[in-house]
Amino acid sequence: MTQPILPNEAARRLFLARHGLLDRPRRQKLASLVDALGFVQVDSVLTLARAHDMILWSRDPGYRPPHLQTLVQGRGAFEHWTHDAAVIPMAFWPHWRHRFDRDRARFDSRWANRQGPDFRAQLDRTLRHIAENGPTRSGELAEGPRQEPGWWNWHPSKVALEYLWRVGELSIARREGFQKLYDLTERVVPEAVRTAKPALDVTVDWAASAALDRLGFATPGEIAAFWDLLTPAEAHAWAKAALARGEVEEIRVEGADGTLRRSLARPGVVEDAERLPEPSDRLRLLSPFDPALRDRARAERLFGFRYRIEIFVPAAQRTYGYYVFPILEGTRLVARADVAAQAGVVTLRALWPETRQRWGRGRTDRLMAELERVAQLAGATRIDLAEGWLRQGA
């Protein structure tokens, strides 16, 4: 039987629709938006706005930075780990139980052994302190001189906090100044959620199904990586069973270079993609950690857009800049921009159009309109353009 083919333009449209980027940004309930995305990556870098704030603002122009912490403190979401630190709908918490168990086994051989024989006593002291004193920052427990970065150099109390958080005994009550405040999970996660204990096969089915529905189409490897809850073997076994049940079908997805890649999708997804509306020509400044770009290899296959974060690259060796924002126009990533906010001013330092993308007056006007919008998120009142801001593609 011939596998259906999803053309590249339709694939991009479907993928962006599933990530809330096909339609114009609109006001919406934050809890519903986070649920639709699945999770929002949390990142500390602040040049224009933090990654999680950019992600949510790109889809809801009324979003402002305090809103996400309000959701977490109201117990509508929790913070834990997917591929990185993320805010996740609270209803999903029971499915993280299996991750807690796996992390415990992994960390027992990785962290605990490095910390020495006193580590178990340190865990008990940490839990006792938080039980008696409430939400706690790592700095409130640390003793001795500050260590160099890296978990291997953390103070034992910091290791204990992270260990207890990753295995589910502690939870993040909130953040203040981007610092985590840890509390007992029983005081953070509502009882009705905390007492749910899905079997592993239930979690595997939920995680795989929910990932595929948010991606639109995916390989088993991409399904496993979405939440980082499943092993590759579990994702492959789920895919085989779902195919046998007729819950998914195999299609071929056309990449930006014309190659076809075999993927799984819900039956009828090719027809669904063809019925999606045309996007507007509005320019969107996206976070480098936007869910649509998180999987760099997938974004490169689908959009022909190669992106690498250059924060840790020495300045003289960077191709673009320290923290560069991809620019989406319709279903195409057409440029990347070095933009920063400081002292109430948003400055466009540089913009590099992609190969074969002309940058004329119309695009410049639409870019300025987007910068005016993002200035509201950044709390800025003025926009400056650096001399020579329009660059040739790198």
- State the number of CA atoms in the 13 A half-sphere of 53 facing the CB: 20
Q: pLDDT tens digit string along 261-304?
A: 999 999 999 999 999 999 988 999 999 999 999 999 999 999 99
CB 337 within 8 A of CB 350: yes
pLDDT of residue 361: 95
- pLDDT confidence bin for 143, thresholds 50/70/90: low
Residue 385, number of CB atoms within 10 A of its CB:
16
Tokens of 285: 């400044």
Average pLDDT of the segment spanning 51-71: 97
Question: Of 117, 120, 162, nearest to 141 (Cα)?
Answer: 162
| CATH class assigned to 115-189 | mainly alpha
Percent of the chain with pLDDT over 70: 94
| Alpha helices, DSSP H, located in the chain | 8-18, 30-37, 51-57, 66-73, 97-107, 113-115, 119-133, 156-166, 191-194, 200-215, 220-227, 232-245, 269-274, 296-303, 361-378
pLDDT of residue 113: 66
Considering the entire predicted model, what is its pTM?
Answer: 0.93
Q: pLDDT tens digit string along 66-95?
A: 999 999 999 999 999 999 999 999 999 999
d(CA 197, CA 328) in angstroms, rounded, equals 41
Assign residue 343 a region: left if phi > 0, alpha if psi is -120 to 50, beta otherwise?
Answer: left
Residues near 310 by Cβ (< 8 Å), separated by ≥ 6? Answer: 318, 319, 320, 321, 322, 323, 324
β-pairing verdict for 85-89 and 332-342: unpaired
Tokens of 117: 């024989």
d(CA 339, CA 316) in angstroms, rounded, equals 18
Tokens of 199: 């079997």
- pLDDT confidence bin for 372, thresholds 50/70/90: very high
Helix, strand, or coil (residue 20): coil
> Which of 99-102's residues contact partners 24+ apart within 8 Å by CB, and which partners?
99/228, 99/229, 100/166, 100/167, 100/168, 101/167
Say which residue the tokens 């819900």 belong to.
Answer: 266
Tokens of 256: 């930006």
> Which of 264-272's residues contact partners 24+ apart within 8 Å by CB, and which partners?
264/212, 264/217, 264/218, 264/219, 264/220, 264/223, 264/239, 265/6, 265/212, 265/216, 265/217, 265/218, 266/212, 266/213, 269/6, 269/14, 269/216, 269/217, 270/4, 270/5, 270/6, 270/10, 272/14
